[in-house]
A and B are shown apart, each in its own frame.
Chain A
Amino acid sequence: MTISKVVLETDTSPVTSTGLLDELPKEKLAWMLQKMCETRYFEEKAEELYIRGQVHGTMHLSIGMEAASTGAIAALRPDDLIIHHHRGHGHTIAKGADITLMIAEFLGKEPGYCRGRGGSMHIADIPGGNLGATGVVGSGIPTSVGIALALQMRKSDKVLLSFFGDGATNLGEFHESLNMASVWKLPVVFLCDNNQYGMSAAIKKVTNIDRLSTRAVSYGIPGETTDGNDILAVYQATQTAIDRARAGEGPSLVENVTYRWRGHSKSDRNLYRTQEEIDDWKTRDPIVRFKQVLVEANVMTDEEVEAVDQQAKATIDQAAEEAVSFPEPSPENMEDEVYAP
């Protein structure tokens, strides 16, 4: 059975992730499905809260991209680190965040991850190894260099996954950071969540290369492109890169090609792409696909798969119900929070 349908017109590398189904324990595979489902339901809930007018601000949904976030983080050790970006709900959930506290942050509540100061775009869970989401495109990439440098200088065997979008690769910071990380052989994996658009800009129109992973060549590091809707392919490519980073051999660039179903944010009228294209990508739903793989390979039964799905939905519903009733933060004395004592 081939798990990974090749979705890239340009793809030439066969994906060989089938072996993972035998290698990974059933609990791990079920956990991966669970995190994908939680991400999906979280974002649908976020959308619902937004439409009901309970959210002040914007949000960026990653519906359709769940394999890229969960698959990469699944390959980490629990004590490893991530840093990520504005479309970061999936990374945060996969890294093990408390979903109630995430929704609380989204609603601007005091018990939220950032005490209502950050919002959807800036969720961080520092004790959980999630070093935060940046809203300035690409600006997590240089910070990654320093995080990985600290790991290296302290002789830690932890690694960092640094997530960013396709659009972020056109910032100068991308170039400077990958070069520096390569030269210093830092323990970081650069993960490009390539959903093929940066707002309205099709990545094919704003770059003249077919695959962003080929940029790795200019830094002398490995570059790999995967079918980013195939969670096992993402897992495998990330695992290889993590092994290299942990062994002290330096960074890699992994590009996971996926698709964003929703608009960029609330202001998006979707004029830059066709409904056919969106519908076509919806037929490649990474969650549906993974469920099929698990059932066809007899890892899980239909009932087990649906039980995971429904449990995820219940988790989100419960979290939202709880978070809504949390207290609001106080505007007093915020000056005291600006500088560390």
Chain B
Amino acid sequence: MTQNGNREITYLEAVREGLILEMRQDPEVFLLGEDIGIYGGAFGVTRGMLEEFGPERIRDTPISEAAIAGAATGAALMGMRPIMEIMFMDFLTISMNQLVNQAAKIRFMFGGKASIPMVVRAPAGSGTGAAAQHSQSLEAWFIHTPGIKVVAPATAADAKGLLISAIRDNNPVIFMEHKLLYRTKGDVAEELYAIPLGKADVKREGSDLTIVAYSIMVPRALEAAEQLAEEGINIEVVDLRTLKPLDEKTIIRSVSKTGRVLIAHEAPRTGGFGGELAAVIAGSEAFDYLDAPIRRLAGRDIPIPYNRTLERSTVPQVEDIVAAARTLAQEGR
């Protein structure tokens, strides 16, 4: 038990708890995906759930990503609340037609007469030595598709609360789970609670510089902020939590306060979400408060390599954030 009466559990356990609690109270919620039953999922998220909910609701599928996404889309069209697990976010490329041309379009294209309340749980990101086809962060593709929401929690507590909202949302939601976050621990309340989609969270207050981050970049930004605090640089960390719809207000408020902003994400820089964030800030009233150019720290424009050193060099690490923030804090002075 921690001070506020919560327990420390891992991000992975928090996702599982969110799934279990919502499934207990809504019989329309079910899971489908590869090896989610007896195997417990490739990362172990659904471990033990088959025993409680049975093979009808913890539904193992053949290796058929297009049909998995289609099955989820169709069941959602019928009003059920399917949650599909894709084993690695990279394989959503196979599901793309169902997600982008069906799930995302149905509501609008049919004149608002139908909706697709489904969740796509997608383990994303690099750092596990899984190389180019098992390490990608493909959020920008989905953010670029009207009709789809995108959520990318950074902490255990957020993972649980945002997942509940994602399940209850009446739209297709891509729920990105970073593989390196699965083992991280945090305070999580035992009961069922929802954190609304579309609300960013200021994870650390500061006055000198804002880091806008999501997913794995949040703990890295927080660690960088700790280190820079010792140098007298006071950093505010805004965790977006939901990428679409975007909480522009919280970003603009923070940047207006600090006058400096560093945007950090793991996905490749070119065409990445950072460009959109920069444009949002530049086009807002925060522009008047900027003391330095908007800076972006992102993944290199290369596929993720296998070798550990190469892999590490591909995405921003704590030391990269420290260096970039330190430089930015001096800029324009």
Contacts and interface: CB of A to CB of B under 8 A. Distances in A.
A136 B133 CA distance: 7
A108 interface: yes
Nearest to A135: B133
Chain B contact surface mostly: loop
Contacts of B132: 117-118, 122
A117 B90 CA distance: 17
Interface stretch (B37-45, B112-120, B213-221): B37-45
B306 A117 contact: yes
B5 to A, nearest CB: 34
B90 A136 contact: yes
B300 A199 contact: no
A23 interface: no
Contact of B305 (A116, A205, A271, A272): A116
A201 interface: yes
Contacts of B37: 200
A338 interface: yes
Contacts of A198: 34, 62-63
Interface in B42-62: 42-44, 60-62
Nearest to B306: A119
B94 A171 contact: yes
Is the interface on chain A under 10, 10 to 19, 20 to 34, or 35 or more residues? 35 or more
A137 B302 CA distance: 22
Contacts of B44: 267
Interface in A227-285: 267-269, 271-272
A328 to B, nearest CB: 6
Interface string A140-169: 000000000000000000000000000110
Contacts of A269: 39
B307 interface: yes
Contact of A335 (B134, B302, B308): B302
Given A57-B130, A58-B129, A117-B310, 15 more contacts: A58-B130, A116-B310, A118-B132, A121-B130, A121-B131, A121-B134, A136-B91, A138-B63, A201-B34, A201-B63, A206-B63, A331-B313, A334-B300, A334-B310, A335-B300
The 3 A-B residue pairs with the shortest CB-CB distance in the complex, in nearest-first order? A57-B129, A119-B306, A108-B307
5 contacts: A116-B307, A136-B90, A136-B133, A172-B64, A272-B38
